[in-house]
Amino acid sequence: MSIYNVKSNGNGYHFHKHDEDLNPENVYDTSLKECTCPGGRRPTCRHRQMLPVFQHLGRVNTGWMYDFENESWYYLDQEKGLVPENRVKGWWRRA
Ligand SMILES: [Zn+2]
């Protein structure tokens, strides 16, 4: 499983890819049109598909992480680790 979060620093959007133990694997620069991943030359890729979802939900630059293969969201809690979205309490859902 690959799990992603997205950071934006005024210089575009960056997908950070991790394995299931949250070890960092790669960083891709992604826009709606382009991506630096190995599939970047194809018409689309998973990162370009995920970017609008992260933007729409306001989850760029947050603790939210997405498991693309299983279509599941997790919140990265400093103490508990990855918390499945349905176990995240309302007040920090948009944190
Ligand atoms: Zn990509």
**Tens of each residue's pLDDT in the chain, 95 residues:** 899 999 998 889 999 999 999 999 999 999 999 999 999 999 999 999 999 999 999 999 999 999 999 999 999 998 989 999 998 876 555 54
Residue 61 CA to ligand 1 center (angstroms) comes to 18
- What residues form DSSP beta bridges with 35? 30
Q: Supply the DSSP symbol for 11.
A: S
Residue 90 CA to ligand 1 center (angstroms) comes to 31
Q: Supply the DSSP symbol for 48.
A: H
Spatial CA neighbour of 4 closest among 49, 42, 56: 49
Residue 44 CA to ligand 1 center (angstroms) comes to 7
Residue 20 CA to ligand 1 center (angstroms) comes to 19
pLDDT tens per residue, range 66-93: 999 999 999 999 898 999 999 887 655 5
Residues with beta carbon < 5 A to ion ligand 1?
35, 37, 45, 47
